[in-house]
Amino acid sequence: MTIYPVILSGGAGTRLWPLSRAVLPKQLLPLVSDRSMLQETVLRVADMPGMMAPLVVCGNDHRFMVAEQLREIGQQPLGILLESVGRNTAPAVAAAAHFVAALDPEAVLLVLPADHVIQDKAAFQAAVLRALPPVGQGALATFGIVPTAPETGYGYIRCGDAIAGAAGCFQVARFVEKPELARAAEFVASGDYFWNSGMFLLGAQTYLNELRQFQPAMADAVEAAVRQAYRDLDFCRLDERHFAASPADSIDYAVMEHTRHAVVVPADIGWSDVGSWSALHDVLPADDNGNVSRGDVYFDGVSNSLVRAESAMVALVGVSDLVVVQTADAVLVAHRDQVQRVKQLVDHLKAGGRTEHMHHPKVYRPWGSYEGIDLGERYQVKRITVNPGGKLSLQMHHHRAEHWVVVRGTARVTCGDKVTLLTENESVYIPIGVNHRLENPGKLPLHLIEVQSGSYLGEDDIVRFEDVYQRS
């Protein structure tokens, strides 16, 4: 039986602000190792027998980062499906099911969120193999996590009768919403309940049949979106109009709570959805005082705290049970018991029209990155890095002029009708209203300083005439 891993890489991870942001969410960040959570998820199943190349479903804004992260770990994806708008997991999996079923009508999908931690890889792979027999008989399998505590932030699954001929698999008796603490404690004590992991093993065609029965409008919209999908470089864009017309819902609500074919496979795999900073603290190795740190951090009389320093030294003295996260433009200080309130903080930033919830000062682009260094009245300074072979769009600005100074590498600059090669310590001036382009023809990264001046310096003052990455 051939298994196709479907990696769901949507979501913004707002509860891990200020590190996780809309343009660079938690699944694309190295939170538990030197690899991103997306990379860890893909590699977790890459060596399993019968496992095909991954199919990733993600948002348009993340497409180039997803592709680059897969390239970094040597994984050629089966495809990268682009959602024009988030519609939760049920439509995303339906799109993947249509895509894969067109290649293999007997395909089995292993649906994995890209932002989960699984510490016991062998136990996880064994759980997947246990689920194969009932799935081969038409079941839709979900993985129930053996609970370690009465958590109130997870949904629960109550297991029913054992499945004949499928050791370690049970019928789903019912799904339970996130309970109050006392009820969660009863669930854990009974031994009949498991955390709902949001991971699934299911036949592509079986899932589509069940979706059509319970959610016909969603089934129709997604089928049309896949039928009218089109290629964009190495990506597959789901038709924007039809996908946006799909109702938004999770697999659990749309299908699993209604189907008569749901089975649960209990899994003791060291799982966490890393839904908060306190959850991240719990899955990372701590020192003798219960502290977890990353970056330039100093502790004196500190216990049970998580500290992450991205660009400066952070010192804690005589405190306990804190979360401190420092980035280039923001610092979060919170008690470990209050970190769920970070979501309200992000909502406040959105309501105030701020940008700290959207992106970091360093912004990644398909050609490289740029980082704001200074900003004042009618001027802005940026540090720009262009990858070898990278090429910015041929563009023009209505309101600003630009001055580029090469710090390292070689730049090919188009300015009007003139094309110039610049090397270290050389510069060029781009007047307002002149078509221009920056390229790196070399084999090493190009670093330069850009000084903008003008009446308006927003990123939306870009008129693109030609772009190898086909951005609008």
Q: Over the stretch 158-203, which tens digit does the pLDDT of each residue have?
A: 999 999 888 999 999 999 999 999 999 999 999 999 999 999 999 9
Of 347, 382, 401, the residue at which a domain comes to its end is 347
Chain centroid, CA 38 distance in Å: 7
The pLDDT value recorded for residue 12 is 80
109 and 228 together in one domain = yes
Please, what is the angle between helix 121-136 and helix 37-46, to 10°?
60
pLDDT higher than 90, residue 13:
no
Confirm if 445 and 380 have CB atoms less than 8 A apart: no
Q: In this model, does residue 40 exceed pLDDT 90?
A: yes
Q: Do 140 and 237 share a domain, yes or no?
A: yes
- The reply to whether 94 falls in a domain is yes
pLDDT for residue 165: 86
- Please say if the pLDDT value at position 97 is more than 90: yes
Domain membership of residue 357 (yes or no) is no
The reply to whether 471 falls in a domain is: no
Q: Is the same domain home to 67 and 122?
A: yes
Same domain, 262 and 287: no
Angle at 112 between CA 108 and CA 116, to 5 degrees: 160
How much is the pLDDT for 213?
A: 98
Residues 79 and 224 in one domain: yes
446 plus 320 within the same structural domain: no
The CATH number of whichever domain residue 376 belongs to comes to 2.60.120.10
Identify whether 98 is part of a domain: yes
Domain that holds residue 294: 277-347
State pTM to two decimals.
0.91
pLDDT, position 223: 98
pLDDT confidence of residue 108: 98
Residue 6 pLDDT: 98
Q: 347, 377, 403: which is the final residue of a domain?
A: 347
Amino acid, res. 174: R
Burial of 209 (0-12, 13-18, 19+ CB in 10 A): middle
214 in the Ramachandran plot: left (φ > 0), alpha (ψ -120 to 50) or beta? alpha
Angle at 127 between CA 260 and CA 269, to 5 degrees: 120
Instruction: Indicate whether 105 belongs to any domain.
Output: yes
What are residue 110's DSSP bridge partners?
A: 5, 201
Distance between CA atoms of residues 218 and 382, nearest Å: 45
The answer to whether residue 472 scores a pLDDT higher than 80 is: no
Confidence class for position 1, pLDDT limits 50, 70, 90: confident
369 and 448 share one domain: yes
- pLDDT for the residue 11: 82
Q: Is residue 356 part of a domain?
A: no
CATH number for the domain that contains residue 170: 3.90.550.10
Q: What is the pLDDT of residues 57-72, one digit of tens each?
A: 999 999 999 999 999 9
Q: Return phi, psi of residue 442, to 5°.
A: -90, -175
Q: Does residue 352 sit within a domain? A: no
Count of domains in the chain? 3
Neighbours of 219 (CB within 10 A): 22
Average pLDDT, the chain: 96
Residues facing residue 444 across a β-bridge: none
If one compares 49 and 170, the residue with the highest pLDDT of the two is 170
Burial classification of residue 149, based on how many CB atoms lie within 10 Å of its CB (0-12 exposed, 13-18 middle, 19 or more buried): exposed
Task: Kindly state whether residues 196 and 248 are assigned to the same domain.
Answer: yes
Q: Which two tokens stand for residue 45?
A: 């199943």
Instruction: Give the model's pLDDT for residue 470.
Output: 86
* 282 shares a domain with 266: no
**For residue 319, is pLDDT > 80?**
yes
- Same structural domain, 102 and 156: yes
Residues 320 and 216 in one domain: no
In a domain, 354, yes or no: no
255-310: pLDDT as tens digits: 999 999 999 999 999 999 999 999 999 999 999 999 999 999 999 999 999 999 99
Task: Among 242, 272, 302, give the residue marking a domain's end.
Answer: 272
In this structure, are 317 and 415 located in the same domain?
no
State the DSSP string of 382-397: EEEEE-TT-BPPEEE-
